């Protein structure tokens, strides 16, 4: 096997697009947090509102931790990045489980509200973020704003 092409000997230095993406997801999550808490409050009452806030905080922590682990390991080694990603999956599931187990008997937590908020906000934020992702070599991570590159947007117009 060619040593130069071995993932064990390679690293992915440079930009960390997952940090940019997760920061954008967290920003959007914080923007819609009051709306989600109000909706959950209307459906489940005050306990639902607090539970929705907790669920959203867990989801945002999950995104942030995933991005932090990958961006830490990728510049060291691609093999380490793979290991960190897989064990990070276990770690993050464990942390979410621990957080839910710790509050399961607390009076201000509604478990259905917490569970549904976790699923809906996780998927909703991901689908929302996909609108702003750039799948190009020039802009890994997020698409540039039109204000930042006015010439490229002007070039597209006939």
Residues in touch with another protein (CB under 8 A): 5-7, 10, 12, 14-18, 21-22, 62-63, 66-67, 70, 74, 78-79, 81-82, 85-86, 89-90, 92-93, 96-97, 100, 104, 111-112, 114-116, 118-119, 122-123, 126, 129-130, 133-137, 140-141
In the bound state with another protein, the residue whose beta carbon lies nearer, of 4 and 157, is: 4
Backbone φ/ψ region at 13: left (φ over 0), alpha (ψ -120 to 50), beta: beta
Shortest Å, Cβ 156 to another protein: 21
In the bound state with another protein, the residue whose beta carbon lies nearer, of 9 and 150, is: 9
Task: Give the Cα separation of 59 and 26 in Å (integer).
Answer: 9
Shortest Å, Cβ 157 to another protein: 26
In the bound state with another protein, the residue whose beta carbon lies nearer, of 49 and 59, is: 59
Task: Give the Cα separation of 80 and 69 in Å (integer).
Answer: 10
What are the tokens at 37? 């808490």
Shortest Å, Cβ 148 to another protein: 17
Distance of CA 43 to the CA centre of its chain: 26
In the bound state with another protein, the residue whose beta carbon lies nearer, of 103 and 150, is: 103
Shortest Å, Cβ 20 to another protein: 8
Shortest Å, Cβ 34 to another protein: 23
- Nearest to 122, CA basis, from 48, 38, 66: 66
Exposed e or buried b for every residue in 91-108, given b needs 16+ CB within 10 A? ebeeebeebbeebeeeee
Task: Give the Cα separation of 155 and 13 in Å (integer).
Answer: 32
In the bound state with another protein, the residue whose beta carbon lies nearer, of 8 and 35, is: 8
């Amino acid at each position: 096997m060619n040593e130069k092409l071995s993932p064990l000997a390679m690293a992915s230095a440079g930009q960390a697009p997952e940090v940019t993406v997760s920061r954008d997801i967290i920003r959007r999550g914080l923007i819609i947090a009051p709306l989600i808490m109000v909706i959950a409050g209307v459906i489940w009452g005050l306990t639902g509102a607090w539970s929705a806030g907790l669920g959203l905080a867990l989801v945002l922590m999950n995104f942030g931790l995933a991005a932090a682990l990958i961006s830490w390991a990728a510049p060291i080694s691609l093999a380490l990045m793979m290991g960190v990603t897989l064990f990070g999956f276990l770690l993050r599931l464990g942390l979410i489980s621990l957080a839910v187990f710790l509050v399961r008997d607390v009076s201000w937590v509604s478990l259905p509200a917490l569970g549904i908020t976790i699923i809906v906000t996780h998927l909703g934020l991901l689908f929302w973020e996909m609108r702003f992702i750039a799948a190009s070599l020039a802009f890994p991570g997020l698409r540039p704003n039109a204000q930042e590159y006015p010439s490229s947007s002007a070039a597209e117009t006939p």
